[in-house]
C-alpha cells in the first residue's frame, strides 16, 4: 500500500475515504480536517479566547495539542472527579501536555469542593455517576470560562461519539435531543459560553493514530464508570456496519448536519427557552428552576458556595 499523496509506503489505510497515507501526509490530512471544520462552521474567530476541556484521554489531549499547533492558542480545564488511581493518572498526562505546550490548566477538584468523590456523591443523591458528573462538568467548565474571560470552550467529541449519540437518539426517537447535537452550541449572553467540537468529523481511530504518531502520552484506560454505557454498545454496532460498508459513519453524521442546517433557525424546545430566561437565585447562572443543579449539590453536601479551582502552569 502506497501513500496516495507522495507514493511512499503508507502507514494508515483510510477505507472510508478509499485512500491510504504515510505518517506525514496523514497528520496533515487530519489537521486540515479539523481546521476546515473550525473555518466552515465559524467555531473560533480572531477575537476569541479559546480553552479546551481535557480529560487526559487521546481525544482531548490531541485536540489541545492540535489547536495550539494550528495557532488557536488555548489553555485547558480539568475536572478531577476523585476516582482513585484513575483521576491522578489522568492529571499526570495533562500536566505533561501543559508543560509541552507551555499553557496553563485550571483544575477543579470535586473531592475538595464537595468533600466526596463522584462515586460517593452519586450514591448519596441516588443518581448514576455519569449524571452527577455531567452536572458538575457542565457547570464548572462554563463557570471557569466566564470567570476567566474565555469565550469558546472546545471539547474532544469525535465522529464516533456523535454518531453513537445520534444513533441512540434516533433509536428511541428522543425528539427533545435529536436536533441539539451540532458542531457548535452558541453561548447566551454573559452567562453561557459558546461550545465547539472541532473533531466532530474526525473518527476515534484517526485521532488515536494521530496521538500515537505525534507521541502524545495519554491515558489508555477509560473512566471506570463508562463500562456498560449504552453508547459503547452503539459504537460497537456502528463499527460493525462500518467494517462492511466503509464511510457509513461519516455519511450518517454529515447527513444529519445537513438536515440540521435545513431546519435552520427553528426555535429550540421550550425547556431550553425557559433556561434562557432563568437564572439561579444563588449563583446567578442559567437554570431550569430557582436553584441550579450545581447549587443544589453544594447545599446537599453542606459545601461552600465559593467555586475554587487550582491552576497549573
Residues forming contacts to ligand SF4 in the complex (CB under 6 A) are: 118, 129-130, 133-134, 223, 225-226
Q: How far is the CB of 192 from Zn ion (least distance, A)?
A: 13
CB of 106 to ligand SF4, least distance (A): 17
Sites of contact with Zn ion (CB under 5 A): 280, 282-283, 292, 295
User: Which does residue 225 bind out of ligand SF4, Zn ion, none, counting CB within 5 to 8 angstroms by kind?
Assistant: ligand SF4
Looking at the Cβ atoms of 91 and 129, the one nearer to ligand SF4 is 129
Compare residues 166 and 292 and give the one whose CB is closer to Zn ion: 292
Q: Which does 36 bind (CB under 5 to 8 A by kind): Zn ion, ligand SF4, none?
A: none
Nearest to 251 by CA among 178, 174, 159: 159
Residue with cell 464537595: 114
Farthest-apart Cα atoms in the chain, separation:
64
Q: Which of residues 119 and 276 has its CB atom nearest to ligand SF4 in the complex?
A: 119
In the complex, the smallest distance separating the C-beta of residue 113 from ligand SF4, rounded to whole angstroms, is: 16
> With respect to Zn ion, which residue has the nearer C-beta, 77 or 280?
280
C-alpha–C-alpha distance, residues 172 and 3, integer Å: 42
Least Å distance, CB 136 to ligand SF4, is 9
Q: List the beta bridge partners of residue 19.
A: 14
Which of Zn ion, ligand SF4, none does 283 bind, CB closer than 5 to 8 A by kind? Zn ion
CB of 131 to Zn ion, least distance (A): 17
Binding partner at 207 among Zn ion, ligand SF4, none, C-beta below 5 to 8 Å by kind: none
Binding partner at 152 among Zn ion, ligand SF4, none, C-beta below 5 to 8 Å by kind? none
C-alpha to C-alpha distance for 105 and 312, rounded to whole angstroms:
5
Nearest-approach distance from CB 82 to ligand SF4, in angstroms: 11
Complex with ligand SF4: residue 4 or 116, whichever CB lies closer: 116
Residue closer to ligand SF4 by CB (options 133, 216) is 133
Q: Could you tell which of ligand SF4, Zn ion, none binds residue 282, using a CB distance below 5 to 8 A set by kind?
A: Zn ion
Amino acid at each position: 500500500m502506497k501513500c496516495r499523496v507522495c507514493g511512499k509506503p503508507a502507514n494508515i489505510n483510510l477505507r472510508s475515504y478509499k485512500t491510504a497515507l504515510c505518517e506525514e501526509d496523514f497528520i496533515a490530512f487530519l489537521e486540515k480536517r479539523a481546521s476546515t471544520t473550525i473555518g466552515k462552521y465559524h467555531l473560533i474567530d480572531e477575537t476569541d479566547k479559546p480553552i479546551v476541556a481535557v480529560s487526559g484521554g487521546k481525544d482531548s489531549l490531541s485536540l489541545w495539542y492540535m489547536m495550539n499547533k494550528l495557532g488557536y492558542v488555548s489553555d485547558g480545564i480539568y475536572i478531577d472527579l476523585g476516582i482513585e488511581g484513575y483521576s491522578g493518572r489522568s492529571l499526570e498526562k495533562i500536566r505533561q501536555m501543559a508543560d509541552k505546550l507551555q499553557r496553563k490548566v485550571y483544575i477543579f477538584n470535586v473531592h475538595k469542593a464537595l468533600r466526596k468523590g463522584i462515586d460517593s456523591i452519586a450514591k448519596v443523591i441516588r443518581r448514576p455517576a455519569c449524571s452527577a458528573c455531567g452536572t458538575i462538568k457542565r457547570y464548572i467548565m462554563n463557570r471557569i470560562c466566564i470567570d476567566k474571560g474565555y469565550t469558546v470552550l472546545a471539547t474532544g467529541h469525535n465522529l464516533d461519539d456523535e454518531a453513537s449519540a445520534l444513533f441512540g437518539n434516533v433509536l428511541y426517537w428522543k425528539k427533545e435531543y435529536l436536533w441539539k447535537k451540532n458542531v457548535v452550541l452558541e453561548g447566551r449572553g454573559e452567562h453561557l459560553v459558546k461550545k465547539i467540537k472541532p473533531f466532530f468529523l474526525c473518527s476515534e481511530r484517526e485521532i488515536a493514530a494521530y496521538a500515537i504518531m505525534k507521541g502524545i502520552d495519554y491515558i489508555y484506560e477509560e473512566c471506570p464508570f463508562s463500562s456498560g454505557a449504552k453508547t459503547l454498545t452503539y459504537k460497537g454496532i456502528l463499527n460493525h456496519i462500518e467494517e462492511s460498508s466503509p464511510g457509513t459513519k461519516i455519511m450518517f453524521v454529515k447527513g444529519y448536519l445537513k438536515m440540521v442546517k435545513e431546519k435552520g433557525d427553528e426555535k429550540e424546545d421550550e425547556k431550553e427557552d425557559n433556561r434562557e430566561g432563568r437564572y439561579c437565585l444563588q449563583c446567578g447562572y442559567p437554570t431550569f428552576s430557582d436553584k441550579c443543579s450545581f447549587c443544589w449539590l453544594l447545599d446537599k453536601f453542606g459545601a461552600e458556595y465559593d467555586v475554587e479551582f487550582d491552576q497549573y502552569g
